[in-house]
Amino acid sequence: MLTQFSPLNLDLIEEGRFRLSVEEDLRRASAAILRHAERYGQAAEKAKARVKVTIDLVCADADDGAYVIKASSRIEVPARPAMLSQAVAGEDDNGRSAVLVRRSGSGRDDPRQKVFTTEDGRQVDPETGEIVGEAQKEG
């Protein structure tokens, strides 16, 4: 065996840059799953973040003993979980059939039921159904 060569290992792929890239992908995947769980709470249960590492060793020239190393890593982060909210059938301002939600937006409760706050705590005007302070911002 020639002394200027070493057996292939993860630290030698791309002169060590590949291992650093995989470690960075692992940090990013960890941060992503933590953010996901914080944002969606119980709905995030069983969500997965994945770092997928692929290393292909390809015989480029069997007679010459030449090989190509193709290394890649990819992060897969969980998608937003499906959430259910409710709406009712009705007519829009032009008299056309439409799916209708409260002026404050759709939520888990029946839209025909009055609410005093949104699920995230913003106050709702019980007469108009609009979020208090939002109408003034738009005008």
Nearest to 53 by CA among 81, 12, 25: 25
Residue 122: which pLDDT band, with cuts at 50, 70 and 90? confident
Nearest to 122 by CA among 139, 102, 92: 102
The tokens 């020639």 sit on which residue? Answer: 2
Q: From residue 128, how far is each of 72, 110, 134, 135 by CA, in Å? A: 55, 16, 12, 10
CA-CA-CA-CA torsion for 126, 131, 137, 139, nearest 10 degrees? -50
| Domain layout of the chain by residue ranges | 10-76, 84-139
Q: Across the strands, what pairs with 66?
A: 61
Identify the pLDDT of residue 87.
83
Residue 137: which pLDDT band, with cuts at 50, 70 and 90? low
80/37 Cα distance (integer angstroms): 10
Kindly report, residue by residue over 66-114, the tens digit of the pLDDT: 999 999 999 999 998 887 778 888 888 899 998 887 776 767 667 677 6
